[in-house]
Amino acid sequence: MREIERVGFAGLGAMGAGIARRLHDAGHHVACWNRTRAKAEPLIEAGMGWAGTPRELASSVDVLFTMLTNTSAIEATAYGPDGVLAGLREGAVWADISTIAPDTSVALAERVRATGAHFLDCPVSGSPATLAVGQMSVMVGGDRAAFEHIEEVLHAIGPKVTYIGRNGQAILTKVAINLALVVAVTAFAEGVALVEKAGVDREAVVDAVLKSVIASPVIGYRAPLLVDDTDVFADVELQQKDLVLAQELARRLGMAVPTCAATSEMLNAARSSATADRDFVVSVHEAYRRMGGMD
Ligand SMILES: NC(=O)c1ccc[n+]([C@@H]2O[C@H](COP(=O)([O-])OP(=O)(O)OC[C@H]3O[C@@H](n4cnc5c(N)ncnc54)[C@H](OP(=O)(O)O)[C@@H]3O)[C@@H](O)[C@H]2O)c1
């Protein structure tokens, strides 16, 4: 494996820009690429390098991170004459920290192996709020030696780094986590809307929830958005992707995921909320209110 001198980062969205900055602040020499260059400008000003294409980025680094929306974004960045696969160096490690389809991730790992490089699925759990307080967790699937080689770099993303197993197993684990996350947040919004209709003040319910045993980290940063809609951690489009990944997996395995399916239906309703571009807790809560005749 290559000595780690340069780190590459592709995908400077809500999560990627913050993670790339953490890697830079931890002292790594980071070069970046993003489809929309404007989002890279603050990072270039902070001292990061810039590569014109994913291929150029991959050909100049020892460890490459990708943090892109979904499966099709990863495929668009991986393949083709300017794609990552055309540039990866022998012995390099590509850690994909996006949440994508497990099958695609495993297929990509095979393609990367054929180039003499290593591929790890390294999905992260948390949000921009979690990242800001340095509490992201990282799960890792793939060759253990490749994981151990980049483990210290992963610790710059967050303190909780867990090796899960072979390629694909970390992304499968992330699908399980996000299934539970979206169901829990949707159930929270359902409960709030229900008792609002019965006459309880929304702010009082939210405050009580935050002091209760169901105040998990994700409820902790999302519940306040029902009182003060100041932030978008993930909109309904991005969040429903993860339920669809779970439903596709369940269909392939012949498994029933009824709470996932019912929640995905609620997210369908949230997609037509006036607040569909806000955080999904806000749009799903609005959908419940609409169905309850409150708005
Ligand atoms: N938001 C969260 O709380 C959170 C937490 C954990 C994990 N995740 C996962 O992290 C990933 C990124 O999430 P995010 O919140 O950072 O999303 P985001 O803000 O929407 O950023 C998406 C990134 O993907 C790029 N992209 C999209 N389609 C592309 C394509 N076809 N080709 C090349 N680049 C493309 C975007 O480039 P442009 O700038 O050019 O649009 C942008 O850099 C997702 O898989 C998400 O599920 C998110």
pLDDT tens profile 211-254: 999 999 999 999 999 999 999 999 999 999 999 999 999 999 99
Directed axis angle between helix 169-197 and helix 102-113, to 10°? Answer: 160
Cα 42 to middle of ligand 1, angstroms: 17
Cα 13 to middle of ligand 1, angstroms: 5
With a 6 Å cutoff on the Cβ, whether 138 touches ligand 1 is no
With a 6 Å cutoff on the Cβ, whether 35 touches ligand 1 is yes
Cα 212 to middle of ligand 1, angstroms: 33
Give me the amino acid identity at 269. A
Would you call 293 helix, strand, or coil by DSSP?
Answer: coil
Give the pLDDT of residue 25.
Answer: 96
With a 6 Å cutoff on the Cβ, whether 99 touches ligand 1 is yes
- For residue 163, list its beta bridge partners: 140
Tell me the pLDDT of the chain averaged across its residues. Answer: 97
Give the pLDDT of residue 49.
Answer: 97
Per-residue burial over 215-248, b if 16 or more Cβ lie within 10 Å, else e, is eeebbebbbbbbeeeebbbbbbbbbbbbbebbbe
With a 6 Å cutoff on the Cβ, whether 234 touches ligand 1 is yes
- Whole-number Å distance between alpha carbons of 149 and 142: 12
pLDDT(117) > 90: yes
Give the pLDDT of residue 295.
Answer: 79
Cα 141 to middle of ligand 1, angstroms: 20
pLDDT tens profile 135-184: 999 999 999 999 999 999 999 999 999 999 999 999 999 999 999 999 99
pLDDT tens profile 265-290: 999 999 999 999 999 999 999 999 99
pLDDT tens profile 44-61: 999 999 999 999 999 999
Return the higher-pLDDT residue of 2 and 288: 288
Give the pLDDT of residue 225.
Answer: 98
The whole-model pTM stands at 0.96
pLDDT(203) > 90: yes
With a 6 Å cutoff on the Cβ, whether 124 touches ligand 1 is yes
- Whole-number Å distance between alpha carbons of 57 and 82: 10
Cα 96 to middle of ligand 1, angstroms: 12
Looking at residues 40-44, what average pLDDT do you find? 97
User: In the structure, what pLDDT confidence band is assigned to residue 1 with cuts at 50, 70 and 90?
Assistant: confident
Question: Among residues of the chain, what percentage have pLDDT more than 70?
Answer: 100
